[in-house]
Structure 1
Amino acid sequence: MSVHEPSDLRTRHEVAVLVMPGALPLDVGIPLQVFIDRPGVPYALSICAEHPGAVAAASGLSYQVERGLEALGSADTIVVPGYSPPDRQVSAPVREALVAAHERGARLVSICYGAFALADAGLLSGRRATTHWDAAAQLARTHPDVDVDPNVLFVDEGSVLTSAGVAAGLDLCLYIVRKDLGPRTANEIARRLVASPRRAGGQAQYQPTGWMPVAGGEELEEVRTWALAHLDDDLTTQQMADRARMSRRTFERRFVEETGRPPHRWILGARVDLARRLLEDSDLPIDQIASRAGLGTGANLRLHFRRALGTSPAEYRKTFSATLTQ
């Protein structure tokens, strides 16, 4: 279905937000702002929990929730906001309620760590899904039957949709409105929230600068440190192997064991990462950044930047530059 061909959502559409213990306040607030009852919009919003009453949330807050899991029995869309800690298994009644809702055709949506609840209920098995980048590896490890994509803002698998970290829940909720009611309504809601109707790129661009090249064991740490200081040189795997006093074959095997990626991919990741820092902290032209990062030309930088982060260097600089503009 094209986003320009909204579904026929003319009648009342119940949206239930399931608040879990340790709920993250922004994750809860996003669907409450997007699916709020307003003229011309058929959403009927309710908040529920496993047990009605006070639900302790994160940041010292709590929610006074009037409805229990029975709300999931009639909801057309169920949103599970993130909660902390994410690896806490959900209770059997919550799992059963989520499975029953899915089996009768309800649409299930998770924000941030809420994907762990859907995975616990078996609803992400064999599906592509995402969560906050800092828990993506954990989700993949604890639920190997889930195809975890750590770089996107959200994933639409039809009846089950998952979003990346925190604010990406807004991207997903606006996307759902666009599917249900068309772009005009989604744009109107985005304007009310002073938000972009659509963000370019994925969540990879929001991962902390420096995360890609730092992982690894100790044996080859000196070689990696040396390589990071020579990214503008014509680095080769053989040069790194010679510095480690190993055969190329042994070096490549050890390098993968320590970092999880072969040397040439690690170098490329480090170069893109250096380019990110230069885009954030300097006013250097794109071609000079490409040269300093060892990526050669501006065109080559744009190619690898788009592949790694899903956005252009220019857009990245506009978003993350240390120079504040109004």
Structure 2
Amino acid sequence: MSLPSVAVLVTPGFSPFHFSVPCTIFGPVLADRPLFELTLCAEQPGTLKSLMGMSIETPHGLEALAQADLIIVPYWPHPGERPSAALCQSLNEAWQRGARVVGLCLGTYVLAYAGLLGGKRASTHWEFEQDFSARFPQVQLDTNALYVDEQRLITSAGTAAAMDCCLYLLRQFYGSAVANRVARRMVIPPHRDGGQAQYISHPIPQTTQDERINALLGYLRDSLDCQHDLDSLAARVMMSRRTFTRHFLRATGMSVGEWLNAERLHNSQQLLEMTEHSIEAVAALSGYQSVISFRQSFKQRYTVSPSEWRRTFQGGKSEP
């Protein structure tokens, strides 16, 4: 069975970082198995230089877009620079035949100039939101999303959000297990939030500078399905209730209730992605006293239901 094919568009004056993100994630990132067939292409094949003097050989022209399952525009030099008619036509034809077309950071402008985003949601770098909305009022710009997937048109916010976006795409092809493995190898989070468009999440403190609080956090993570109260937790760390709540807030930046809810939601994410447990079982294993309160808390934080999250992150192929 052939591997999914990825075409990455290289432009003159390309940004090495923006270009390296899709090349890393869709290149030979795992030593024991190939995941994609990666092709570099440009409007004018040959040697292209970045603004920093780095150069790269692009052996293929726009014809490579005609065969790719996934097309990525990782960079664009300036919002006011219009892509050529040939590039716009190639992107439109690729999307119409069923390819996913991706614009990372200012690459979103290319998709918009090509007319692909009219009436659809999209994301781009926050510094250019006003400019983008003025140029493309027909596009529904999501100013809160790390990335947006709308009808096989995927756009991302700036810089590091490109990694979130590319991992999301990898997950669509191979499922959570492979995506998580790639993320671990790259030493980055497998995802920072949830739904079809990821929204900026509230990070959960893993460790603190308070050893007693650290030990308590480990205990709580191992017993999320139990109900906890402040008095018993304070006694566990040998503090008064008032002293304990003050130490916990100073160490984690959260109240005990806030921390537990965030950790329970994180645990429920993992169960939804990696198991076939019912929503009721996920709620119970994550420490929610009712499935109704779990659904409400999950939807409030991630703007999607637990079932929608599962459909998104269990999609694609699973690792053998």
Same fold (TM over 0.5): yes
Map Cα deviations across residues 223-273 of structure 1 (whole Å, 9 max, x no partner). xxxxxxxxxxxxxxxxxxxxxxxxxxxxxxxxxxxxxxxxxxxxxxxxxxx
Residue of structure 2 equivalent to 1:32: 23
Equivalent-residue separation in structure 2 for 1:204 and 1:81 (angstroms): 24
Equivalent-residue separation in structure 1 for 2:75 and 2:104 (angstroms): 6
Equivalent-residue separation in structure 2 for 1:161 and 1:83 (angstroms): 15
Residue 13 (structure 1) aligned with residue 4 (structure 2)? yes
When residues 59 and 137 of structure 1 are mapped into structure 2, their CA distance, relative to the original with a 3 A threshold, is farther
Structure 1 runs, 4 residues or longer, greater than 6 Å off: 282-287
Residue 51 (structure 1) aligned with residue 51 (structure 2)? no
Residue of structure 2 equivalent to 1:249: none
Residue of structure 1 equivalent to 2:73: 80
Following superposition, the deviation at residue 27 of structure 1 comes to: 1.2
Identity, % of aligned positions: 39
Equivalent AA in structure 1 for residue 9 of structure 2: L
Map Cα deviations across residues 271-320 of structure 1 (whole Å, 9 max, x no partner). xxxxxxxxxxx999779xxxxxxxxxxxxxxxxxxx99x9xxxxxxxxxx
Normalising by the residue count of structure 2, what TM-score does the alignment of the two structures yield? 0.59
Map Cα deviations across residues 145-185 of structure 1 (whole Å, 9 max, x no partner). 11011221000113111111011011011111111101110
Equivalent-residue separation in structure 2 for 1:47 and 1:180 (angstroms): 20
CA contact under 8 A between 2:192 and 2:200: conserved in structure 1? no
Map Cα deviations across residues 114-165 of structure 1 (whole Å, 9 max, x no partner). 0000001001111100011111211111011110112210001131111110
Residue of structure 2 equivalent to 1:131: 124
Following superposition, the deviation at residue 203 of structure 1 comes to: 5.7
Equivalent-residue separation in structure 2 for 1:284 and 1:44 (angstroms): 43
Aligned partner (choices 106, 109, 112) of residue 113 of structure 1: 106
Equivalent AA in structure 1 for residue 96 of structure 2: E
Aligned length: 207
Equivalent-residue separation in structure 2 for 1:286 and 1:36 (angstroms): 39
Equivalent AA in structure 2 for residue 109 of structure 1: V
Structure 2 unmatched ranges of 5 or more = 203-249, 256-299, 304-320
Equivalent AA in structure 1 for residue 50 of structure 2: A
Aligned partner (choices 89, 101, 104) of residue 97 of structure 2: 104
Residue of structure 1 equivalent to 2:214: none
CA contact under 8 A between 2:104 and 2:162: conserved in structure 1? yes
Equivalent AA in structure 2 for residue 126 of structure 1: G
Residue of structure 2 equivalent to 1:91: 84
Equivalent AA in structure 1 for residue 17 of structure 2: L
Aligned partner (choices 189, 192, 198) of residue 199 of structure 1: 192
Map Cα deviations across residues 23-69 of structure 1 (whole Å, 9 max, x no partner). 22211100100011454444100110000012233334332211111
Equivalent-residue separation in structure 1 for 2:113 and 2:70 (angstroms): 19
Equivalent AA in structure 1 for residue 10 of structure 2: V
> Residue 150 of structure 1 aligns to a residue in which SS?
coil
> Residue 126 of structure 1 aligns to a residue in which SS?
coil
Residue 151 (structure 1) aligned with residue 139 (structure 2)? no
CA contact under 8 A between 1:150 and 1:204: conserved in structure 2? no
